[in-house]
Amino acid sequence: MNNIIYTSREELDELRNKKLRAQFLLCVQEVPFYKELYDRHGINADVVHTMRDLTSLPIVDKSVVRDRCLHPLYDKRRCLKSRSSGSTGEPFYTYFDRRSWFMKKYWVKYRARRACGMRFGDRVSIIDTDGDQALKKKNRLFALLFPFLNLRAFSIFDPLSITIQKIRTRKPTIIYSMPNYLFRLAREMERDGIPIDSVRLIFTSSEYLEKPVRSYIEKTFRAEVFDVYGSTEFKEIAWECERHEGYHINEDEVICEIVKDGVPVATGEIGDIVVTDLNNKAMPLIRFNTQDKGMLIDTPCSCGRTLALLKIYGGRASDNIYLPTGELIEAFRLTTSIEYIAGLLKYQIVQTSYDALFIKVITDNDTAGDEVRKIIEDTTHHTMQVDIERCESIELEKNGKYKVVKNSIDKS
């Protein structure tokens, strides 16, 4: 099954078409949410046969789906579920049938990590958002499922200095965590002059990985960073290989489209990442707008793997910046304009009023802040007051995530 990564394009597409047809039939015939939705759009069981027909279906998002697209034969209590925050703050649950959960949670991840160089005998440390109880449970499960991997989970809530000590004692060859957390850990290591030098590979996920943050983590740990793109609704969607030319989409699990104003855009254009799940029967998500920004690349990766490439951009649609003239500046335009600045380690751009931006920067020189100001003033056509604050840390959002661009204007 591992060779799905190297199978021919034709074989992979045939498999994807078959899976899509099965998911579509399941939805249009058996899931009340889709039966009603498709009925309203005049869509019957004959509409989708291959991936090319997918654009005939309406795009959905968290606000319309909630848990309404659950298959009636699956009992919520017997499904495995993931929780994320909904569009209006209420929790959003995605339910998975057992088979697709285990495939996504373990096999698909394991397959990608192996492709990136994880080997038998590697010692893996995962630093995650679990509390004490969940951590113990996770570690018991890891020992049971992957005795050959030496897998151990730690909590991001422990003091950084304690975690550094624990990691130094354990000597992992692989670390898996969120970029923002690893950045803080690396800063602490550098400040205290306590290195962690056992690590060969670092996997990051759950947050947008800014280029300067990647470089800083790689420099401090002296290890290669591989970023993974995923979401609670689909688990891992795409991952970087050793060439870092983009993220290989798990194409036997999902179909990714890039959409702008509800219409798919050509490869090479940036838009919202819209995902269709090909395997989850309990709560099939068809053309679900993740609201993350991405771009499809039409050239295959130079590594020779068949799985197509996706590029990820920072900043969600809800965090776009509006100029006093009413012009919209998409968040990713700001992030891509400043990420190459030397000495800029981390930043956060906040629109605080209709004509003001407040930018926090963590830098290791005295000039990066000024450069950020100049570029952002240019990008916003000198219509905004741009204030820069150099600081040592940037707070997280209430959900524990880090926002690289943030619109704090009350839109109500």
Question: Closest distance between Zn ion and the C-beta of residue 307, in Å?
Answer: 8
What six digits make up the tokens of 276? 């269709």
Q: Give 229-268 as a DSSP string.
A: EEETTTEEEEEE-TT-SSEEE-TTTEEEEEEETTEEPPTT
Segment interacting with Zn ion, rule: CB under 5 A, options 230-238, 273-281, 300-308, 346-354: 300-308
Q: Which is nearer to Zn ion, 8 or 412 (CB)?
A: 8
First to last CA, the chain: 50
Question: Closest distance between Zn ion and the C-beta of residue 298, in Å?
Answer: 14
Q: Select the residue interacting with Zn ion from 80, 303, 317, 375 (CB under 5 A).
A: 303
Q: In Å, what is the CA distance from 202 to each residue of 138, 192, 219?
A: 20, 21, 12
Asked whether 280 and 237 are in contact (CB, 8 A), the reply is: no
Q: Which is nearer to Zn ion, 304 or 324 (CB)?
A: 304
- Spatial distance between the Cα atoms of 327 and 321, rounded to a whole number of angstroms: 9
DSSP secondary structure letter of residue 326: S
Q: Which is nearer to Zn ion, 138 or 305 (CB)?
A: 305
Closest CA to 406 of 50, 398, 26, 296: 398
- Spatial distance between the Cα atoms of 313 and 271, rounded to a whole number of angstroms: 9
What six digits make up the tokens of 368? 């990066």
Residues of this chain, 304-323, that bind Zn ion according to CB under 5 A: 305
Closest CA to 31 of 289, 290, 280: 280
Question: Closest distance between Zn ion and the C-beta of residue 305, in Å?
Answer: 5
Segment interacting with Zn ion, rule: CB under 5 A, options 15-23, 160-168, 299-307, 371-379: 299-307
Q: Which is nearer to Zn ion, 163 or 306 (CB)?
A: 306
Q: Select the residue interacting with Zn ion from 31, 258, 301, 368 (CB under 5 A).
A: 301
Question: Closest distance between Zn ion and the C-beta of residue 245, in Å?
Answer: 6
Task: Identify the residue whose tokens are 């200095």.
Answer: 161
Instruction: State yes or no: residue 297 binds Zn ion (CB under 5 A).
Output: no
Pattern of binders to Zn ion over 212-251, x per CB under 5 A?
Answer: -----------------------------x-x--------
Q: Which is nearer to Zn ion, 312 or 368 (CB)?
A: 312
- 358: Cα within 13 Å, side-chain hemisphere: 12
For binding to Zn ion (CB under 5 A), which residues are involved?
241, 243, 301, 303, 305
